[in-house]
Amino acid sequence: MKKTTFKQSLGLLGVAAGVLGLALTAIPQNATAQTKDFGGIELTIATFPSTWEIRFREEIGPAMEKMNVKLKFIGGRSDEFLAKLILARGSPTFDVVEITDHVFPELLEGGFLNKLNHGNIPNIEFLNNAMYNEYKVGYWQTQQAILYNHEKFAELGIPKPTEPEDLLHPKLKGKVIFPSLTGYGAVSVITAIAKKHGGDEENIDPALPILRKFSAQVHSFADFTPMSQAMKNGDIYAAFSSGGSARRLRDAGVPIGIHHLVIDGKQGVPSFGYLGSVKGSKHQEAAEAFINEAIGLEMQEGIFINNGTIPTNSKLQARFAQEVGQEKDPFGTLYRLLAPKTIAGMYYLKFDMIDRRKWGKKLQRVQIGK
């Protein structure tokens, strides 16, 4: 595929998708390099724990086994892996690392990433060129949104939320879960609030008074499990989370409503996850083979269906776009923005303007109400 701009390629994809339709499902072949034999090495992946690890094992495990690579996993988050790399003093204990946008600059500055040989990652041709560079390859996308229990909202007479501050409604005191302010999940919500009040990614100060109000009013700051459990129990009526979470909650029987964040009039604020090869690892080539599989069809489809992320692989994006608006919606496409046009029109956070540590220092304090 010729390298084109993001929008152009998405437009092309839309057309391609329209033409090919579901027929694409019949062509599941990945553009894999010739099957290599890595001689039974162990490749350690530092990525999210629990079901995410299981997904990797199930979708990529067999393919890697064919290449004679045994997979091992360390569970955690991108910022924790950075700390572990620093502690490791150049002898890292893992080969592939999960990278989230806000940690990438530090990983790069610390010299913890290998330059990737894109030749070993042939599936990269299915990615939009904004999705990868010489150090990282994007393999998942989520879209942060306001999730709410529409039955409860109707019962209490609260209007449908259209922006974050709507969740400061007095009737929602103690009934909202916010993602941890210092984590990746909160970046888009904070930016949305900051931009509305005259700030931006670089200057989040205008958002701080609003965030303080939230801190005084929210049930807690938490990730997926406590959020979904509290939503199910009826302890909370609304949260900021991804469209994928919304689908999981819907499937589990929670009357969930969703409103995607809007920034600068653009609806949908995506966050991306990448993989990189760790400097000091002895298995860079195997790491690249792994990354190639991670953007391959099996894994991309696996995490779309099971974990609720949106594929970065454009072949699949196009395929799932077909599901939008169908009566039966097993994949929960209602909750995720999938149409190529919509994806192209989303607001893309300017991560080069975000200083994670500067943000973190302020937000840590705001979170406990200081």
Partner 1 sequence: MSEHAVTTGPKTRTLVPTAGFGNPFSKWRKSLGGWVLNTWVAFVIIVIYLPIIIVVGASVDPGSYIESRAFLTFPPRGFSLQWYLNIHPRLWQSLWVSVSMASISAVFGLLIGVPAALGLIRCNWRGKIFMGALLRAPLQIPFIVIGVAFLQAYHLAAEVFHINLVGSFTGLVLGHVFVASPYVISAVGVQLQRFNPSMEEAALIHGASRMRTFMRITLPIIMPGIYAGGLYAFLISFGDVTISLFLAGPDTTPFPVQVLHTITQDFDPTVPAMASLVCIGSLFVLLAVQKLVGLDVLLRGGGSG
Partner 2 sequence: MRANWGLVLLPPLVFSVILLFGPQIMFLRASFYEDLGIGRLGPDFTFINYILAFTDSFYYESLILNFQLSASVTLLSLFVAYPVAYRIARMTPRWAMIILAAIIVSAFLSVAIKILGMIILFSANGALNRFLLWTGLISDTIGIIGTIPGIIFGLVHLSISFKVLLLFSVIQTVPRSLEEAAEIHGAKRWRVYWRVVIPLSLPGIISVSLLSFNLIMGAFVSALVLGGGKIFTLPVLIQQSLMLFSEFGISAALSAILMVFVFTINIISVIMVTRIHAARLAVT
Identify what 145 binds: partner 2, partner 1, none; CB under 5 to 8 Å per kind: none
Identify what 117 binds: partner 1, partner 2, none; CB under 5 to 8 Å per kind: none
- Rounded to an integer, what is the distance from CA 102 to the centroid of its chain? 12
Candidate list 20, 24, 57, 106; residue touching partner 2; CB under 8 A:
106
Nearest by Cα to 149 from 1, 226, 259: 259
Task: Establish if 82 lies at the interface with partner 2 (CB under 8 A).
Answer: yes
Structure tokens at 6: 């993001």
Task: Establish if 280 lies at the interface with partner 2 (CB under 8 A).
Answer: no
Phi-psi region of 133 (alpha: psi -120 to 50; beta: other; left: phi over 0): beta
Which DSSP state fits 166?
Answer: G
Task: Establish if 148 lies at the interface with partner 2 (CB under 8 A).
Answer: no
Stretch that binds partner 2, among 224-232, 245-253, 294-302, 336-344 (CB under 8 A): 224-232
Distance, CA of 16 to CA of 138 (rounded, Å): 22
Candidate list 182, 245, 312, 313; residue touching partner 2; CB under 8 A:
182
CB nearer partner 1, residue 58 or residue 134: 58
Minimum distance of partner 1 from residue 229's CB (angstroms): 4
Distance, CA of 217 to CA of 202 (rounded, Å): 26
Cβ-count burial 268-287 (b if 16+ within 10 Å, e if not): bbbbbbbbbbbbbbebbebb
Q: How many CB atoms lie within 10 A of CB 125?
A: 16
Rg (the chain; Cα; Å): 20
Candidate list 23, 29, 37, 109; residue touching partner 2; CB under 8 A:
109
Binding residues for partner 1 (CB under 8 A):
44, 48-54, 57, 72-75, 77, 87-91, 93-94, 222-226, 228-229, 231-233, 245, 248-249, 251-254, 307
Task: Establish if 181 lies at the interface with partner 2 (CB under 8 A).
Answer: yes
What residues have CB less than 8 Å from 256, skipping those under 6 apart? 147, 148, 149, 150, 231, 246, 249, 250, 335
Nearest by Cα to 280 from 86, 140, 41, 34: 86
Stretch that binds partner 2, among 2-10, 27-35, 226-234, 251-259 (CB under 8 A): 226-234
CB nearer partner 2, residue 227 or residue 294: 227
Residue with tokens 């509290």: 230
Stretch that binds partner 2, among 32-40, 104-112, 257-265, 316-324 (CB under 8 A): 104-112
Task: Establish if 221 lies at the interface with partner 2 (CB under 8 A).
Answer: yes
Identify what 224 binds: partner 2, partner 1, none; CB under 5 to 8 Å per kind: partner 1
Identify what 106 binds: partner 2, partner 1, none; CB under 5 to 8 Å per kind: partner 2
Residues that bind partner 2 (CB under 8 A): 79-80, 82-83, 86-87, 106, 109-110, 174, 178, 180-182, 215, 218-222, 226, 229-230, 233-235, 357, 360-361, 364-365, 367-370
